[in-house]
Structure 1
């Protein structure tokens, strides 16, 4: 059963969870991928409720989001297995089926193709209504040094690439019970 909620009544809970890591899940074709995020924003844009997630250019999730243009945000509600967030942040969907590896329960969403994750029951269903590449020239030098290190000894997967902001209109919010 899904108990519909007003997302803004759970805003503090959602944003506190984001700091510690939540999942975004997207489906493109028959492929589903979940990725851990710890950056995100909840708010109103163009008079619509939105969740904004930030995805690096090199991530498999970026490819899937660009194809699907929808995602769910999967948020812990109560006790949960912290290995879910850890595993999904450490492995690429290019290489492993994370849902299968973790034995996650993917449930059909009500409004979009991307599924919900029963183990992280507070769910936001989102349609991408806007995406924007970060302007690397507008990012302060100190932030670049911390989050976008450069150098010849670095590898492409070592967080040198910048983020794309995906604005997801929240079309449904609920807790899976």
Structure 2
């Protein structure tokens, strides 16, 4: 029998040290569209304030399935580990495309219904940020220093010698509308 879950509210700004360290090591960004849930591993992201709103800024390449899902349904959750070994989960979600693989099913992850967004949290990565996209902006490759452009956006990724072929990231600004820790209920 499936155990119920409870959610304890957290203040993400009070736990920035934990959140920042987790992002560097990898967290999941989860989306939902057309009755499909998909998670991808990200290690680029920011927590901050924009327009007097708490935001999580996620960086997603235009070639990713998650990018397509975010364009169609502008909600996501950020799923952050709280101890435990999640290396297998992060590796799997960072090396497979949701176009071809149902990562949630393959990994046997436990989805926990969102409260203020339609995208679920994940019990195995229990610190959850619920976000609604309020703005998106493609990075301008002409404004990126050349050495960074060459390191992170080499031309060979698409075979296109122009700047547009470098699979540049789009920044998705998600207003954090809820944040909590998923716990087993009793």
Q: Give the aligned partner of residue 130 of structure 2.
A: 125
Q: Give the aligned partner of residue 174 of structure 2.
A: 168
For the pair 1:71 / 2:72, whether they are aligned, the reply is: no
State the shift of 1:29 in Å.
2.0
- 2: CA distance, partners of 1:20 / 1:81: 10
Unaligned runs of 5+ residues in structure 2 are 1-5, 160-164
- 2: CA distance, partners of 1:72 / 1:147: 25
Q: Give the aligned partner of residue 62 of structure 1.
A: 67
For the pair 1:15 / 2:15, whether they are aligned, the reply is: no
Out of 100, 103, 109, the residue aligned to residue 98 of structure 1 is 103
Structure of higher CA gyration radius: 2
- 1: CA distance, partners of 2:70 / 2:119: 10
After superposing on structure 2, the runs of 4+ consecutive aligned residues of structure 1 that deviate more than 3 Å are: none
Deviations along 1:29-67, whole A, 9 cap, x unmatched?
A: 201100000000000000000000000010000000111
Unaligned runs of 5+ residues in structure 1 are none
- 2: CA distance, partners of 1:5 / 1:47: 19
Out of 70, 87, 91, the residue aligned to residue 82 of structure 1 is 87
Aligned length: 173
**TM-score between both structures, scaled by the size of structure 2:** 0.90
State the shift of 1:14 in Å.
0.6
Q: Secondary structure at the match of 1:8?
A: coil
**TM-score between both structures, scaled by the size of structure 1:** 0.95
The RMSD of aligned alpha carbons is 1.2
CA contact under 8 A between 1:80 and 1:119: conserved in structure 2? no
For the pair 1:150 / 2:155, whether they are aligned, the reply is: yes
